[in-house]
Structure 1
Amino acid sequence: MSRIDDFEAFIAIIEHGSLTTAARRLNRSLQSVSRSLAALEESVGVELVHRTTRRSTPSEVGAAFFNRIKPAVDEINDARLQAINQRSEPSGVLRVGAPVLFGPNVLMPVIAEYMRTYPRVEVDLQLSDGFADLGAEGLDLAIRIGDLPDSNLKAKRLGALRRVVFGAPSYFARCGRPTHPFELNEHSCIIRTVNERPGEWTFQIDGKPRTVKVAGAFRSNLMTSVYAAAVHGLGLGFSPLWQIRHLVDDGRVELVLTEFEPAPVPIHALWQEGRSSSAKVRAFLDLLASRLELKSL
């Protein structure tokens, strides 16, 4: 086994805090990873990792060694991947992270087209509304909705998502249509209770973002319940347009106050430095960007 494999084993141990987890991530046996660490420590003449039955942590020298060699190993692996992918079509397993609703509703048509185009690729779609640690979860890329926190990840803006107010025709026939956000205090609004500020909706009024307090008799922690309540005429909902596009297209709900919509929410693809040199990642990013650009989200 090459010295680069020893370095990769050491890096995985530090990143995951366990020889067992590192072995699983590298698809190697525990004995093989243990031998790599022992060989590396013998070559430098110092203990790099403190081991216990529960956890493996870097020694002071090990932490410094990790910080020096990780960028170099990443660069070597990226160069190797780039050389391989210049002569090969996309293949292997593409691991993608995405928000729970966005994945099935928006990503799946793109993933299906991607897999038909590149039959040698398998796709592992992981759905979560949390901010994933791409390295820890073994993801090639992740889709994130909203402003991005500072990080060392690479990002590609794919588009922006509209947020809209909607209601059923039966509700409008009974209660009328609001023509300005300030009129919402005269309407029954459906509240999602897990929002950061439930009962507060943001609009663009006179060129500035303004918050309007709303209230109603029905509230729920799930957006699917909010949609169902709106369809049944219980009040007005507030949601990303892509989540209710099918209801709009079917005529089950209608949009109001579109001229006061808040600024669209950005959507990005994120990946670690060097991952875009992989043919499977590059091809998926290109297809995703082109398909989302054509959609009205």
Structure 2
Amino acid sequence: MSRIEDLEVFVAVVELGSLTAAANRLSRPLQTVSRALAALEDDIGVELIHRTTRRSTPSEAGEIFYRRVKPAVDEIREARLEAAQRRLEPSGVLRIGAPALFAPRFLMPIVAEYMRQYEEVQVELDLSDAFVDLAGGGLDMVVRIGDLADSSLAGKRLGGLRRVVFGAPSYLAARGRPKHPQDLKHHDCITRLGDDRQGTWMFTIDGRPRGVKVSGPLRVNAMAAIYAAVGEELGLGYSPLWQIEHLIVDRRVQVVLEAFEPSPVPIHILWREGRAPTAKVRTFIDLLSKRLKLDHL
């Protein structure tokens, strides 16, 4: 039976096109690499690599064998890495991507606790409301708000965020409180420019998710402007609840249509699938899962 070390040699030779380059990648003597490749071919009974003085290329059988064995070799390598890292103390730089408004309030206290607990770890926070690519952005993990569409990432759900309709008390007193989402057609609704669902607010009606068309004379491109406009009695707004909690506490706005709220927007912590989380990633995920409680927001 072929050893995993022989399979690793074969994969490296195919990917690098050279026994010497494979030996350098694997930190093994060239003679050891040559013997491992020969042993693998003897075991299988077919030539896998065509060797010349300048280049080593896979045979037809070698190409087929590579496609089948490559995922298994990667999985074994990751398993080894995971087992080894579970006994290592977190260290190095932990790079986290997160939404710009969400991170200061919810993530920073957890980052502070983490850094006090693991003094060998430095943290870099990349704050953006865009869906940043982990590999392209050089990130170890990312916090995302919204439904997931990227199947190349592994993740863990951290909770959900409520979305609500709200208005200034004076506006509601003058125009009346909507009792049903369809009542919004009689109200000025402040919508956000650039939103994928501009002019459509989501609700739960008769137990099912429904989009309701809304309109009004004012459209803006930032949530802060929506909050200010609602405060000026220019209409109703639609927002994540956590972003207007301070306005509710100060009695500057009131929430309406609570019985028709849509399902909470999910929030996840994501990392690259197929990679064993390093000690610094694994310990941060564990702490985040314990400390971040969002289902009431």
Q: CA offset at residue 113 of structure 1?
A: 2.0
- Return the offset for 1:182: 1.3
Which residue in 2 is equivalent to 1:196? 196
Q: CA deviation at 1:89?
A: 2.8
Alpha-carbon deviations, 1:171-197, whole Å to 9, x = none?
223323212111111111111011123
TM-score normalised to the size of structure 2? 0.73
**What's the C-alpha RMSD, in Å, of the aligned pairs?**
3.5
Counterpart CA distance in 1 for 2:270 and 2:22 is 31
Residues 235 and 280 from structure 1, CA distance in 2 versus in 1: closer, same or farther, beyond 3 angstroms? Answer: same
User: 1:137 offset after TM fit, Å?
Assistant: 2.0
- Bigger Rg over Cα: 2
Residue number in structure 2 paired with 1:90 = 90
Does the 8 Å CA contact 1:200/1:212 hold for their aligned counterparts?
yes
Question: Contact (CA 8 Å) 1:188, 1:217: kept in 2 or not?
Answer: yes
What is the aligned partner in structure 2 of residue 79 from structure 1?
A: 80
**114-123 or 64-73: which moved more?**
64-73
Moved more, 259-268 or 245-254: 245-254
Residue in 2 aligned with 1:126?
A: 126
Distance 1:93 1:256, change over 3 A: same
Describe the shift of the 1:252–1:73 C-alpha distance in structure 2 as closer, same or farther (beyond 3 A): same
Checking the alignment, whether the CA contact within 8 Å between 2:247 and 2:253 is kept in structure 1 is: yes
Runs (5+) with no aligned partner, structure 1: 14-34, 49-60
Correspondence 1:155-170 to 2 at 5 A: 155-170=155-170
Contact 1:78/1:277, CA 8 A, preserved across alignment: no
For residues 100-156 of structure 1, the C-alpha deviation after alignment (integer angstroms, 9 at most, x for no partner) is: 322223222222222222222111111233333222222211112222115132121
2:41 is matched with which residue? none
CA contact (8 A) 1:159 1:268 kept: yes
Alpha-carbon contact 2:159-2:294 (below 8 Å) kept: no
Distance 1:211 1:47, change over 3 A: same
Distance 1:242-1:82 versus aligned 2 partners, 3 A rule: farther
SS of equivalent to 2:292:
helix
Counterparts of 1:134 and 1:116, CA distance in 2? 25
**Letter aligned with residue 259 of structure 1:** A
TM (normalized to structure 1)?
0.73
1:283: Cα distance to partner? 1.6
Specify the code of the residue in structure 1 equivalent to 2:225: S
Displacement, 1:166? 0.9
